[in-house]
Structure 1
Amino acid sequence: MKNNYFKAAAFALTMLLFSCSTQDLTDESQDPSTTTNSSTTKMSKMAPTKPTAPKIWEFNDLNEWEDATQVGNPNYFIDTNNGYLHLFTNANTWDRTKVKSVATYATGSYSWRVYVPTMGVGDMASIGAFLYNNDTHELDFEIGYGNRAIRQQLNAASDELIVYNTSQANPYHSFQSKIKREQWYTLTIELALNSKKKYVTTWKIDNVVLSSATLTYGTATKFKIFCSVENLTFIGDHIPYTQNYALFDWVEFK
């Protein structure tokens, strides 16, 4: 009986060891693609997110934009045949026609696709593509005929206009150059951060760098995006004698 008992015990122990060995082999041979563990979960959570798609306004309508006109009537409309935003100012006025984005933005690249027409000779009229928070936190493209002094300084030809790249303050920065009239341009303002978390802004036309400046502030200051045509005294020699306009095909933020 004892022999039978020991034989039965030995058999049971052998079967138990075989079962454990088989289980080990099964675990080790699992397809790793079907195995979820803490390491895989952690790597999944750390995976980089896809970059945000650019925000683009095609100006088939004015959704997400609002009126910002300061002087005169809101002189703008959507050219539904072409999908342009058409802005203008009237002769012998100080019209300041503007639209602005409803939302505010910070670091990134801002671009405006703008048609720059012939502008009245000597007219104090400006095409604006700019970012605005307040009067001391403003970054501009401003395009106009230019006064006599700046045209002489830059040796501007009769078919050229003057473009200003400006930070209105913090610090003040202004750079002037020439562009041909009656052409489409992509105007870009890029906002990045330096090691001190301050904005570095770069002005480009058709991806060519014109100017740059390091600002004294950072992302606590956010901007609305503006499109404008304004009659402004600094950019010509006299009150506009003609109606001046600009076309905006699209605006992009990315």
Structure 2
Amino acid sequence: MLKNYYKTASLALGMLLFSCASEDIIEKNQNATTVSDSSIPTSLRKSTPRVTPLKTWDFNDLNEWEDATQVGNPNYWIENSNLRIFTNPNTWERVKIKSVAAYATGSYSWRVFVPAMGEGDMASIGAFLYNNDTHELDFEIGYGDQVLREELNAAPDELIVYTTSQANPYHSFQSKLKRENWYTLTIDLSLNAKKKYVATWKIDNQILSTRTLTYGTNTKFKIFCSVENLSFMGDHIPYTQNYALFDWVTFQGN
């Protein structure tokens, strides 16, 4: 009996000592973690980048948009959850809508159906960012004049797309795309080391051109969707009604 008593007491004492030792180890490990974290320089600590949630306009309505038509009537409406915009023939109509809010750095995208536009028509489908006439970044799609079409060797089923910064600095790049297709047009605005905008134009995630601008986030942009009859986009005043469909617009800030 005495032997069993000592055996039981020894076992209990051992468990008590093990428990104390374990608590001591846990406490030391916790303290060590705290000391280790605080010793890491702030610039090297992990952090989660702050990203603005994706803003999407599906064009089930025109909430958060306003008319920006310059010439003619506001020729647009919602059609099967698309924004349909058009201009009439033999006019210089410039039909536009713009976002109510203005934005800065981030990624701007437009999902656009590009139809067969009138041959030689001076008409443009626009997806662009605008602050004023010298702070404007554009996609402009149209038939193009015959001289430029020959320079680019454009096929009969191809249209011309311009990617443009209107000033600060001026930049323009022209390329081709097939008509009667849906495209995602994107302008990415980031900042360089000097806090100036770097603009990148993409179609279906393929880069067309990039340009560093002379200004930064003090200049914010409203988002535009448009169809305009513009003299530089073809060879004659439009003979046909030209249109575009906008399925959605998105903005992802950063």
- Tell me the SS of whatever aligns to 1:69: coil
The structural deviation recorded for 1:51 is: 2.9
Q: 1:216 to 1:120 in 2, by over 3 A?
A: same
Deviations 1:120-152 (A, max 9, x none): 000000000000000000000000000011001
- Equivalent of residue 123 in structure 1, options 114, 121, 134: 121
- Equivalent of residue 191 in structure 2, options 190, 193, 197: 193
Deviations 1:74-117 (A, max 9, x none): 000001x3x10000000000000000000000010100000000
- Tell me the SS of whatever aligns to 1:72: coil
The equivalent residue for 1:100 is 98
Q: Which amino acid aligns with 1:57?
A: W
Question: Gapped runs of 5+ residues in structure 1?
Answer: 1-24
Output the CA distance in 2 between the equivalents of 1:161 and 1:114: 14
Q: 1:49 to 1:201 in 2, by over 3 A?
A: closer
Output the CA distance in 2 between the equivalents of 1:61 and 1:40: 50
Question: Gapped runs of 5+ residues in structure 2?
Answer: 1-21, 41-45
- Equivalent of residue 166 in structure 1, options 164, 168, 173: 164
Q: Which amino acid aligns with 1:66?
A: E
- Equivalent of residue 179 in structure 2, options 181, 191, 196: 181
User: Following superposition of structure 1 onto structure 2, how do residues 1-20 of structure 1 map, counting pairs within 5 Å?
Assistant: none
The equivalent residue for 2:242 is 244
The equivalent residue for 2:218 is 220
The equivalent residue for 1:152 is 150
The equivalent residue for 1:59 is 59
The equivalent residue for 1:87 is 85
Q: 1:209 to 1:47 in 2, by over 3 A?
A: closer
The equivalent residue for 2:68 is 68
- Tell me the SS of whatever aligns to 1:249: strand
Output the CA distance in 1 between the equivalents of 2:204 and 2:87: 26
- Tell me the SS of whatever aligns to 2:147: helix
Deviations 1:132-179 (A, max 9, x none): 000000000000000011001001110000000000000000000000
Q: Identity rate of aligned residues, in percent? A: 73
Runs of 4 or more above 6 Å deviation: 25-30, 37-41
Deviations 1:225-244 (A, max 9, x none): 00000000000000000000
The equivalent residue for 1:231 is 229
Q: 1:151 to 1:49 in 2, by over 3 A?
A: closer
- Tell me the SS of whatever aligns to 1:187: strand
- Tell me the SS of whatever aligns to 1:77: strand
The structural deviation recorded for 1:53 is: 1.6
Output the CA distance in 2 between the equivalents of 1:143 and 1:224: 19
Q: 1:27 to 1:95 in 2, by over 3 A?
A: same
Q: 1:110 to 1:181 in 2, by over 3 A?
A: same
The equivalent residue for 1:111 is 109
Output the CA distance in 1 between the equivalents of 2:127 and 2:35: 51
Q: 1:148 to 1:49 in 2, by over 3 A?
A: closer
Q: Using structure 1 for the length normalisation, give the TM-score.
A: 0.82
Q: Which amino acid aligns with 1:183?
A: N
- Tell me the SS of whatever aligns to 2:188: strand
Output the CA distance in 2 between the equivalents of 1:91 and 1:27: 86
Q: Report the aligned-residue RMSD.
A: 2.6
Q: Using structure 2 for the length normalisation, give the TM-score.
A: 0.82
The structural deviation recorded for 1:52 is: 2.4
Q: 1:152 to 1:66 in 2, by over 3 A?
A: same
Output the CA distance in 1 between the equivalents of 2:235 and 2:50: 51
